[in-house]
Amino acid sequence: MQVHATFELSHAQTVFCYVNGHLCGTQEVDATNGSVTFPIEGFWERNMISFVFPTNRRQSVIQIKDVGIDNLYYSILPRVFHDNIYVSNLDQSSEHVFTELYHAHQFEGPGVVGVRYEWPLEEWYFRQQTTDAPAEDKQRLALSRFINYGWTDTKKRLKAGPMHELPILPLDAKLDAGDCDSIAGIFDTDTGNEPQMKTVIQDGQTRLVPDLALKENKRLTLFGPNSADYPKVHEATATSHTWQECEQKLQGIDFYWHHRVPALEQLVEALGIKTLYAIEFRTILPRSIQPVHGDHETKSLFNGLKNRLYIPISWNEHSNLAFYGVGNVKIDLGRVYCFNGNAYKHGARNNHPTKIRHALLITANVDSERFDKLLQESYKKFLSWL
């Protein structure tokens, strides 16, 4: 096996690579797109890859751009690994962990950039066969491995654990097939073509940017604020730590049905939703994917199974939704699923040559007795689906 990494540096220098504390080798690295490859013996369940730059000069920048195992690169910047990156000066006097988005780090001299794999990523990734797929296919390949991995042991452990630590749970609530068809029709006939957005937090600032991973996938709001207020709602739900704080940030924003869908209004009522913020499409166009990623809502509000709700509106035999620990999710069209997306990595694909795959994502405060009751009943009824 080999570990590869690409760096952007202020000056060319030597790097030492350590995997789980063992030195794998040392190499010279170019300043721009400096790539290194080190042979490694193998991985543990949780791993630490460190790149040590002992000759880095004062105030020199070290940026890790990508890291890969056996030619399967997984770009760091599209957020998959950002929360597992840390940097420190060589004397370890100032470790900095990127709890937010990773960006280049300026060092005061010799420094270390490390990547921690806190969850056993290698279950679906590291233990696979070597491949030399073209760069654009690598996310697709990683997703495919993620979907196909046999999760037996992890699944057993998760199912035996607390209910709220499940990655996903079907609820005893469902839209009928006719309603799903007409909702999908709203998307297909809408002429608006706004990009789907995501929140990034950098230096404490929240910004809403087009989600490049989903660049082909349109965003359409069924319920929520107008376009101008959308970033505020996205920010409030992604960064607030109490409902009060969230409500404060949302003061004065008008939430309304952009398209009236009586079946959805009834569903919101039936679920016992306390405050509804948004119902939006999450579509995947033919032959497209949503790469493996984690969501960014704060866990203080959108926690566990009260994270977000997901409804598959149209599906086909070439579509998959996969979660860490569960793998390919059994999809029942129109059924509401609790979607624990900020705790577990997930990804989706639509390999159908012509059909769009539609799903709805509901952002809401579901802290209500009725929702709790529904959750408990659904847990008894649908745990065996996982």
Binding residues (CB under 5 A) for Fe ion: these are: 295, 341
Which of 85, 52, 83, 87 lies closest to 67 in space, CA to CA? 85
Instruction: Rank residues 114 and 167 by Cβ distance to Fe ion and give the closer one.
Output: 167
> 6: which 2 tokens?
């690409």
DSSP codes of every residue in 142-176: HHHHHHHS--HHHHHHHHHS-GGG-SEEEEEEE--
- Residue 94 Cβ vs Fe ion, minimum distance, rounded to whole Å: 33
- Residue 19 Cβ vs Fe ion, minimum distance, rounded to whole Å: 30
> 73 - beta bridge partners?
68
- Residue 12 Cβ vs Fe ion, minimum distance, rounded to whole Å: 39
- Residue 255 Cβ vs Fe ion, minimum distance, rounded to whole Å: 22
Instruction: Rank residues 138 and 345 by Cβ distance to Fe ion and give the closer one.
Output: 345
Contacts of 210-216 with CB under 8 Å at 24 or more apart are 212/78, 213/78, 213/139, 213/290, 213/291, 213/293, 214/290, 216/285, 216/288
- Residue 293 Cβ vs Fe ion, minimum distance, rounded to whole Å: 6
Instruction: Rank residues 105 and 345 by Cβ distance to Fe ion and give the closer one.
Output: 345
Q: Output DSSP code: residue 311.
A: E
Q: First-to-last CA distance in the chain?
A: 33
Q: How far apart are CA 51 and CA 234, in angstroms?
A: 35
Instruction: Rank residues 158 and 321 by Cβ distance to Fe ion and give the closer one.
Output: 321
- Residue 341 Cβ vs Fe ion, minimum distance, rounded to whole Å: 4
Instruction: Rank residues 312 and 341 by Cβ distance to Fe ion and give the closer one.
Output: 341
Q: How far apart are CA 178 and CA 66, in angstroms?
A: 46
Instruction: Rank residues 8 and 165 by Cβ distance to Fe ion and give the closer one.
Output: 165
- Residue 177 Cβ vs Fe ion, minimum distance, rounded to whole Å: 25
Determine the 3-state secondary structure of 378 from DSSP. Answer: helix
Instruction: Rank residues 29 and 343 by Cβ distance to Fe ion and give the closer one.
Output: 343
> 257: which 2 tokens?
């049905």
Q: How far apart are CA 99 and CA 94, in angstroms?
A: 15
- Residue 254 Cβ vs Fe ion, minimum distance, rounded to whole Å: 26
Q: Output DSSP code: residue 214.
A: G
Q: Which residues of 287-311 are buried (b: 16+ CB within 10 A; e: fewer)?
A: ebbbbbbbbbbbeebbebbbbbbbb
Instruction: Rank residues 70 and 280 by Cβ distance to Fe ion and give the closer one.
Output: 280
